[in-house]
Amino acid sequence: MTRLIIPLLLVMAAGGGVSAGEGCPPADVMLERLESVEVGRGARTARFGAEPPRDLYSEAIHDVGVPVVGRQGKQGHGVLVAELPVGDFWKAINDEDHQALDGGYVPVGHSEVIEGTPRGASRTVFQYYQQWGIGRWWVSRVRINTELYADSDGSMWELTWEDENDGVDPSVPPISLVSSKIDRLDASRGAWLLVPLAGSCTLVEHFSWTEPGGVAGALAPMRIKSALKQTLVGLERMAREHIPISDPDHQFVGPDGKALP
């Protein structure tokens, strides 16, 4: 297997022995683990043409629990090293039906699986966002990347999405609740990539490219960083607070397609 070479990370790790927190090993250990993973095979690069955010990896590893973000035009990256088992954070990002609860773990007004099995390997999700009279609704096809998990020997847990707005009827609930009040999002795609760095330490990468269109499109670049931070922090909180008591009616599925405990 080809090793991922990250010169900046190697330089910053040279000091070694930095304590990262109760759940995470020292920074140099985390960096070594990350260097052994071919993160360039993730969908953010393989499907969407964006390079891995290597500088953000380094920042996040040296500041555990603090989200770091970056933006290039309509494309955004967010990285967080969370002191959580990979399965806990994985469950939070796969639990769309509950992501708008308790004031919103993610910055959306509504989140609902409208086709497929909630938390399953492939499903269609309806969400919308509205603030100060401006908003957008969208429908996304969400897929778990079982192939990447297998090819990486379990070192990469990935979920991707792409908009499927053209394939839905906006006059049918639940979309009809907002389709007459706010416009449809033009286009969106992205991915979540989780890399377990230790038993209770996970590197979380969130990639997103969005074209809202209209006035919202002109304002979108100013919101990308804040939205990324809110999403990362919110889902970490969801993993800690909500997932342990989450509705058991639908089983969570891991990236190997098997049911999670």
- HEC readout, the chain: CCCCCCHHHHHHHCCCCCCCCCCCCCHHHHHHHHHCCCHHHCHHHHCCCCCCCHHHHHHHHCCCCCCEEEEECCEEEEEEEECCCHHHHHHHHCCHHHCCCCCCCCCCCEEEEEEECCCCCEEEEEEEEEECCEEEEEEEEEEECHHHHHHCCCCCEEEEEEECHHHCCCCCCCHHHCCCCCEECCEEEEEEEEEEEECCEEEEEEEEEEECCHHHHHHHHHHHHHHHHHHHHHHHHHHHHCHHHCCCCCCCECCCCCECC
Res 249: pLDDT: 80
pLDDT band, residue 151 (cuts 50/70/90):
very high
pLDDT tens profile 218-252: 555 567 889 999 999 999 999 999 999 988 788 99
Res 73: pLDDT: 87
Query: Is the dihedral angle over the CA atoms 65, 53, 217, 114 positive or is it negative?
Result: negative
Res 51: pLDDT: 96
Kindly tell me if the per-residue pLDDT of 254 is higher than 80. Answer: yes
Q: What's the rounded Cα separation, in Å, for the pair 119 and 97?
A: 9
pLDDT band, residue 216 (cuts 50/70/90):
low
Kindly tell me if the per-residue pLDDT of 120 is higher than 90. Answer: yes
Q: What's the rounded Cα separation, in Å, for the pair 260 and 244?
A: 13
Residue 12, class by beta-carbon neighbours within 10 Å (0-12 exposed, 13-18 middle, 19+ buried)? middle
Res 55: pLDDT: 96
pLDDT tens profile 10-56: 222 222 333 345 789 999 999 999 999 999 999 999 999 999 999 99
Q: What's the rounded Cα separation, in Å, for the pair 49 and 143?
A: 18
Asked if omega into 67 is within 30° of 0 (cis), the reply is no
- Neighbouring C-alpha atoms within 13 Å toward the C-beta of 182: 23
Lowest mean pLDDT, pick from 178-187, 192-201, 232-241: 178-187
Kindly tell me if the per-residue pLDDT of 147 is higher than 70. Answer: yes
Kindly tell me if the per-residue pLDDT of 255 is higher than 60. Answer: yes
Domain 39-245 in CATH 3.30.530.20: yes
Kindly tell me if the per-residue pLDDT of 212 is higher than 90. Answer: no
Kindly tell me if the per-residue pLDDT of 88 is higher than 50. Answer: yes
Averaged pLDDT for residues 169-184: 94
Query: Is the dihedral angle over the CA atoms 104, 108, 112, 118 positive or is it negative?
Result: negative
46, 54, 50, 70: which is closest to 13 by C-alpha? 54
The mean predicted confidence, pLDDT, of the chain is 88
Q: What's the rounded Cα separation, in Å, for the pair 190 and 162?
A: 7
Tell me the two tokens of residue 53.
Answer: 């955010």
Averaged pLDDT for residues 203-225: 78
